[in-house]
Chains A and B, each alone.
Chain A
Amino acid sequence: MGQIIANAVILGCTYALMAIGLNMVYGLLKILHVAHAGIYTLGAYVGLLIFRTLTKSLWPGLVCAMVAAGFAGVAIFHILYKPVLRRPRYIALIASAGIFAASQELFRLIAGPYPYAFPAQFVFPAIRTKFFYLTSTQMLILSFTVVSFIVLYFLISRTKIGLAWQACMQDMDIAGTSGINVNRVITLNFFLGSALAGAAGILVALYRNSVFPTMGALVSYKAFVVVVLGGLGSMPGAVVAAMLLALVESLLSAAPWFEFPRDALAFLTMTIILLFRPKGLFKR
């Protein structure tokens, strides 16, 4: 039981890392950013490339993956979303879904259809207690998630750009007229969210020891479930919802009598919770 909960927490961390970026985009632009999952895959591939060509250590790959993913996110905003910001939001959604589908085939064309192993070496403490065992990879995911969320929290609540970001969340037009450089805020927003997605990609690649073109497919909708569950645009909501979903999934799917597939469970949980809390768990 302790082991199942421990594993669920790690799974929750990977969901949360993805969901936070999606939420940041939705909060600002009200766009469902499907291409986020493509950025996640990009992160994994960049990490793999650095790992295979330059160094056998994990850390440079992680940094490069985050930077590359961040820039890719910014590029998606400037090329894809910015021209259609004044149009109905479904246009951006369709463009986003299109770029995600295209990115999967692009990865396949460049890197081949086969999955690659990602046996990066790194030193990180593992925890073994009587009730559960967390491997060093799991500990890395956990600590990375915790640290990045703390950093993000301070960035948003304690810095000037964070304040500007909060203002843009509330009303972008008014924030713009009060002298905030909205463009810069959105760019930073995309950069940070995408960097986290890139990090999630490489961490999950490490966790599963595989990188393949369609690795984003499952994540693309799982992260949406998390975002909707937590309330669109609510950051703490996304984190709690990610943990909750991972826990429900893990506990139920361990039981042999439970015949429902894990991924359908995500939507079932979402349906049930939305019946009672139509705006998500944490949105008032």
Chain B
Amino acid sequence: MRRVFIILALFAVCAFGQQAIKVGFIAPLTGPAAADGFSALQSALLAVDYINAHGGINGVPLELVYYDDALSPDQAAALTRKLIEGDKVVAVVSGSYSSTSRAAAAVCQELKVPFVAAYAVHPSIVQVGEYAFRVGMAAQIQGRIGGYFAVRELGAKRIAFLIMNNDFGISLAQAFKDAATSLGATIVYEKRYPVGETEFRDYLTAIKAADPDLLYAPGYYNEAANITRQFRELGLRCWLMGDEGYDSPKYLELAGPAANGVFITTDLDRDSRRPITQFFLKAYEERTGIPADMVGASAFDAVMIVAHVLRQAGTDPKAFIAYLAELKNFEDAATGPILMFQERTAVRPMQIQIVLNGKFRHFYEYGPEEPIIYYTYP
């Protein structure tokens, strides 16, 4: 009789005790994007530690189940299926690029599990359906902000484009171009370069001859660092403007002093006094030994938002997406307050940062009163 009681007691502990809530995570931990995958994963784990140190999901610990998608959409889709069907995760967070995130989002939509992309920018990700969300900035908003800033604030009339030839670069450049031309700027040069390109001197020589006021070069930090160095080496005399892909301490290291005076659009403001931003920047550097970047901050925020929604709405997918779609003024995000979700994409004040003495510094902010920060004009 006593033994039966013990067994029953054990059952009770299992049933009502600390059965962790699982959230799935994919990121490119190997292959060409391994550096971003590392940032994203470490930041997501940091968020999980933070959440569990602050009471978990209403007393239940949060657990992150993560896999390496190796930047392959096939693998991302298969692993997302495995996360949902095998690991029984209640939501999936992507710390990966646009192509892999889109593949994962499609699987989540099919299996009706909430999906949150951290920093993938392509419009098509949230268009797979009502289960796909995005915490990072949509390309439309970011590119548009860049275009407005270039023409309105910097007074650029002649603009040259050097565009990374993938989802990321093309969608940013398109939005930038639409905004800039609608304000009266002209395009004097446009060129796409492949991901992984290292030699930009030919393009830049031609750009120099076209004599623009500003060069917009959307891309990732490896390529951007080469553009920046070669831009200075060839003595171009115009503004250089980039995007959140530049937002990494590695960009500053690789580009060196050449980066001084480069503008970027981003959502991470390192000069922000918000406690959660400063906590993230400090904790990330303690954890990994390197300074934080935008990719990491977005992954941190994605997990923070998922945890918040799980606390408020529970694990039911329908309740989850209904709550997230209506979420307003979410403050616990390292990349600044998230004002609202429009078309399942986060809307937040937008930062223009400038590189000064090897640091990203606050330069300009488009706040909630600026209609251009909204996904669709309200």
Task: Say if the beta carbon of A148 comes within 8 Å of chain B.
Answer: no
Shortest A248–chain B CB gap in Å is 11
Task: Say if the beta carbon of B30 comes within 8 Å of chain A.
Answer: yes
Task: Say if the beta carbon of B222 comes within 8 Å of chain A.
Answer: yes
Shortest B11–chain A CB gap in Å is 44
Query: Could you say which residues of chain A place their CB within 8 Å of the CB of B197?
Result: 262-263
Q: Which 7 A-B pairs have the closest CB atoms?
A: A113-B34, A254-B202, A261-B194, A113-B35, A7-B201, A117-B253, A114-B35
Query: Could you say which residues of chain B place their CB within 8 Å of the CB of A133?
Result: 234
Instruction: Find out whether the CB atom of A256 lies under 8 angstroms from the CB atom of B190.
Output: yes
Task: Say if the beta carbon of B165 comes within 8 Å of chain A.
Answer: yes
Shortest A15–chain B CB gap in Å is 11
Shortest B227–chain A CB gap in Å is 11
Query: Could you say which residues of chain A place their CB within 8 Å of the CB of B229?
Result: 209
Taking CB as reference atom, which chain A residue is nearest B195?
A261
Shortest B285–chain A CB gap in Å is 14
Query: Could you say which residues of chain A place their CB within 8 Å of the CB of B222?
Result: 115, 210, 212
Query: Could you say which residues of chain B place their CB within 8 Å of the CB of A11?
Result: 199
Task: From A3, A135, A255, name the one whose CB has the most chain B CB atoms within 10 angstroms.
Answer: A3
Taking CB as reference atom, which chain A residue is nearest B257?
A119
Task: Say if the beta carbon of B212 comes within 8 Å of chain A.
Answer: no
The residue that B192 contacts in the complex, of A212, A249, A259, A263, with Cβ under 8 A, is A259
Task: Say if the beta carbon of A214 comes within 8 Å of chain B.
Answer: yes
Task: Say if the beta carbon of A4 comes within 8 Å of chain B.
Answer: yes
* 8 A Cβ contacts from A1-42 to B: 3-4, 7-8, 11
Taking CB as reference atom, which chain A residue is nearest B198?
A208
The residue that A113 contacts in the complex, of B37, B194, B206, with Cβ under 8 A, is B37
Instruction: Find out whether the CB atom of A7 lies under 8 angstroms from the CB atom of B225.
Output: no
Contact with B along A210-224 (1 / 0, CB 8 A): 101110011000000
Shortest B159–chain A CB gap in Å is 13
Instruction: Find out whether the CB atom of A117 lies under 8 angstroms from the CB atom of B191.
Output: no
Task: Say if the beta carbon of A108 comes within 8 Å of chain B.
Answer: yes
Taking CB as reference atom, which chain B residue is nearest A255?
B206
Query: Could you say which residues of chain B place their CB within 8 Å of the CB of A251?
Result: 202
Shortest A235–chain B CB gap in Å is 25
Contact with A along B28-57 (1 / 0, CB 8 A): 001110110110000000000000000000
Query: Could you say which residues of chain A place their CB within 8 Å of the CB of B225?
Result: 209-210
How far, in angstroms, from A217 to B32 measured CA to CA in the complex? Answer: 9
Task: Say if the beta carbon of B340 comes within 8 Å of chain A.
Answer: no
Instruction: Find out whether the CB atom of B256 lies under 8 angstroms from the CB atom of A209.
Output: yes
Task: Say if the beta carbon of A112 comes within 8 Å of chain B.
Answer: yes
Task: Say if the beta carbon of B193 comes within 8 Å of chain A.
Answer: yes
Shortest B127–chain A CB gap in Å is 27
6 A-B pairs, CB-CB below 8 angstroms? A115-B35, A115-B222, A210-B226, A253-B191, A256-B206, A262-B197
Instruction: Find out whether the CB atom of A4 lies under 8 angstroms from the CB atom of B254.
Output: no
Query: Could you say which residues of chain A place their CB within 8 Å of the CB of B226?
Result: 208-210
Task: Say if the beta carbon of A166 comes within 8 Å of chain B.
Answer: no
Shortest B36–chain A CB gap in Å is 8
Task: Say if the beta carbon of B330 comes within 8 Å of chain A.
Answer: no
Instruction: Find out whether the CB atom of A218 lies under 8 angstroms from the CB atom of B201.
Output: no
How far, in angstroms, from A209 to B250 measured CA to CA in the complex? Answer: 11
Task: Say if the beta carbon of A250 comes within 8 Å of chain B.
Answer: yes
Shortest B235–chain A CB gap in Å is 8
Task: Say if the beta carbon of B272 comes within 8 Å of chain A.
Answer: no
Task: Say if the beta carbon of B329 comes within 8 Å of chain A.
Answer: no
How far, in angstroms, from A40 to B229 measured CA to CA in the complex? Answer: 23
Known pairs A133-B234, A253-B203; list 18 more (Cβ under 8 Å): A4-B202, A7-B199, A11-B199, A114-B38, A119-B256, A204-B198, A209-B229, A209-B254, A210-B225, A210-B226, A212-B35, A214-B31, A251-B202, A254-B203, A261-B165, A262-B193, A262-B194, A263-B197
